[in-house]
């Protein structure tokens, strides 16, 4: 995928550097490492996975010191092997040490998400189903985490509450039923805004299809036989998204039902941080 513009990522990285370095900078490095010391450091993968966060790590080092020479050896979205060098950083040893933890925190988190996403995507091989994330992201890090999902081969769901209409069970209860919410959404949306409706039974699905107005229907917490029935009932009239309890070990059987998308919050809220190390 095409990298995001650096200026979109910089505010998040600056905030992380401020958290780590303010108010007095790196007092340890200032005390024990001579200012003129120069070094070349390597960011190494300590396990196999799919890389993400190299752009972010590069920005972290360069925000600390624009004179650092950062070279990426494995690009975001590409696989890596255990022991492989992902990046080298050359220049002031003090600057490298100041940027190290923030760079590795981001890259480890993002590579963990990308690697988990790739595992989910692998389970859909041979089907039309695509894996997508949710809004269950770390506050303040949604852009970072959704980027990592894309690096792992997944799709991005809506970014926030403002870029799509997603009507869930609480909306239906508050508004007075499926017909009421679909008619209200149809009246309110622009021609560029898609509508997704969550249903938790085949009866609700049938009702939604009869009323019309939804571009996407989210099949919530349905077992596999019910998902299969939902696909047959829909006849490709709308996009179907399966969600709820979508564990890695279940993805292959759900993809085989013929749904268009499987969304899983686990991609971001349960990804393990990838083991990376910076070595002098």
- The per-residue pLDDT string of the chain (280 residues; one tens digit each, 9 = 90 and over) reads 889 999 999 999 999 999 999 999 999 999 999 999 999 999 999 999 999 999 999 999 999 999 999 999 999 999 999 999 999 999 999 999 999 999 999 999 999 999 999 999 999 999 999 999 999 999 999 999 999 999 999 999 999 999 999 999 999 999 999 999 999 999 999 999 999 999 999 999 999 999 999 999 999 999 999 999 999 999 999 999 999 989 999 999 999 999 999 999 999 999 999 999 999 9
Same domain, 169 and 217: yes
Q: List the structure tokens of 57.
A: 């790590």
- The answer to whether residue 1 is domain-embedded is no
CB 115 within 8 A of CB 266: no
How many angstroms separate the CA atoms of 134 and 269, rounded?
9
Residue of 181, 250, 258 whose CA lies nearest to 212: 181
Same domain, 148 and 113: no
Q: What is the CB-side half-sphere exposure of residue 105 using CA atoms within 13 A?
A: 14
Same domain, 72 and 138: no
How many angstroms separate the CA atoms of 51 and 58, rounded?
14
Same domain, 161 and 116: no
- The answer to whether residue 29 is domain-embedded is yes
Full residue range of the structural domain in which residue 89 is found? 6-120+272-279
Same domain, 78 and 44: yes
Q: For residue 272, count other CB atoms closer than 10 A to its CB.
A: 12
Cα separation values, 113 from 19, 106, 232, 263, Å: 23, 11, 33, 14
The catalytic residue positions are 101, 136, 168, 198, 220
Give the domain CATH number at 60: 3.90.1170.20
How many angstroms separate the CA atoms of 182 and 263, rounded?
22
CB 8 within 8 A of CB 14: no
Q: Which residue has the tokens 């993968």?
A: 45
Nearby residues of 190 by Cβ (< 8 Å), 6 or more positions away: none
Same domain, 159 and 111: no
Same domain, 152 and 264: yes
How many angstroms separate the CA atoms of 109 and 215, rounded?
33
Annotation: binding site for substrate: 101, 134-136, 158, 168, 198, 220, 243-245, 264-266
Same domain, 90 and 184: no
Q: How many domains does the chain have?
A: 2
Nearby residues of 159 by Cβ (< 8 Å), 6 or more positions away: 142, 143, 146
- The answer to whether residue 174 is domain-embedded is yes
- The answer to whether residue 232 is domain-embedded is yes
Structure confidence at residue 245 (pLDDT): 87
Cα separation values, 270 from 24, 113, 116, 248, 260, Å: 34, 8, 9, 11, 23
Helix (H, G, I), strand (E, B) or coil at 269: helix
Same domain, 145 and 240: yes
């Amino acid at each position: 995928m095409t990298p995001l513009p650096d200026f979109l990522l910089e505010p998040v990285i600056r905030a992380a550097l401020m958290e780590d370095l303010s108010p007095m900078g790196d007092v340890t490095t200032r005390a024990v490492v001579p200012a003129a010391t120069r070094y070349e450091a390597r960011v190494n993968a300590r396990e196999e996975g799919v890389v993400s966060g190299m752009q972010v790590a590069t920005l972290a080092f360069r925000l600390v010191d624009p004179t650092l020479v950062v070279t990426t050896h494995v690009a975001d979205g590409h696989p890596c092997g255990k022991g492989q060098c992902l990046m080298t950083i050359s220049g002031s040893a003090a600057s490298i040490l100041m940027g190290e933890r923030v760079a590795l925190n981001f890259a480890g988190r993002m590579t963990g998400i990308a690697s988990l996403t790739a595992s989910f995507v692998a389970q859909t091989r041979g089907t039309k189903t695509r894996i997508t994330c949710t809004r269950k992201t770390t506050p303040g890090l949604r852009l970072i985490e959704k980027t990592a999902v894309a690096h792992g081969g997944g799709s991005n769901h809506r970014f926030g509450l403002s870029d799509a209409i997603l009507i869930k069970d609480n909306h239906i209860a508050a508004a007075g039923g499926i017909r009421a919410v679909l008619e209200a959404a149809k009246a309110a949306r622009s021609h560029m805004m898609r509508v997704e409706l969550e249903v938790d039974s085949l009866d609700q699905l049938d009702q939604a299809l009869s009323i019309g107005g939804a571009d996407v229907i989210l099949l919530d917490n349905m077992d596999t036989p019910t998902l299969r029935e939902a696909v047959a009932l829909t006849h490709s009239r709308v996009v179907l998204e399966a969600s709820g309890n979508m564990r890695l070990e279940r993805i292959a059987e759900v993809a085989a039902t013929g749904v268009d998308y499987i969304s899983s919050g686990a991609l971001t809220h349960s990804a393990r941080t990838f083991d990376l190390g910076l070595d002098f």
